Amino acid sequence: MDIHEILKYLPHRYPFLLVDRVLSCQPGKDIIALKNVTINEPFFVGHFPHHPIMPGVLIIEALAQAAGILTLKTMDAKTNNDSIYYFVGIDEARFKKPVQAGDQLTLKVEILRQIKGVWKYSAKAEVDGQLVTEAKLMCTMRNV
């Protein structure tokens, strides 16, 4: 799935769209997506100028966006103006290694369960096959 298709599923736009490509998506199961981390990202100006690293919260957000695509594909739905997909919880978040400009994040998200409209996922981010971040995420769809 290229960026044009991603834009049909996520309402996010620059500078907050954090998924560049989807490599695979098995609705109801899992997704593998990419985020290319470039030096011109707006957060690098202040985080940290002498040693720029991607903020952990944005790595988690990228994983949540990948989860959003997976959920919408599972529901056979696309983003619209009547509802929004909210990120509602993070458990067991761990940051193993810093992510720097030039890295390519591989975002791996698996559906664990869906109960009463709340989806729970196992999420991992890797760089060159090495785990950099992992967490359990929760999201839900609500009318606006």
143 pLDDT band (50/70/90 cuts)? confident
- The pLDDT of residue 19 is 98
CATH of 3-143, one of 3.40.50.10540, 3.40.1160.10, 3.10.129.10, 3.40.50.1370: 3.10.129.10
Residues 6+ apart with CB under 8 A from 123: 60, 63, 64, 66, 67, 107, 108, 109, 110, 133, 134, 135, 136, 137
Establish whether 47 is a catalytic residue. yes
Q: What is the pLDDT of residue 31?
A: 98
Enter the DSSP assignment of 15: T
Contact partners, residue 10, CB within 8 Å, separation at least 6: 17, 19, 65, 68, 69, 79
**Neighbour-count burial of 90, counting CB atoms closer than 10 A to its CB (0-12 exposed, 13-18 middle, 19+ buried):** middle
Residue type, 50: H
Strand partners, 105: 35, 127
Q: What is the pLDDT of residue 108?
A: 98
Residue type, 74: T
Q: Which tens digits make up the pLDDT trace of 10-45?
A: 999 999 999 999 999 999 999 999 999 999 999 999
- pLDDT bucket at 9, cuts 50 / 70 / 90: very high
What is the pLDDT at residue 118?
96
The pLDDT tens digits for 81-140 are 888 889 999 999 999 999 999 999 999 999 999 999 999 999 999 999 999 999 999 999
Per-residue pLDDT of 55-73, as tens digits, reads 999 999 999 999 999 999 9
Which pTM does this prediction carry?
A: 0.96
Check 4, 12, 47, 50 and give the catalytic one: 47
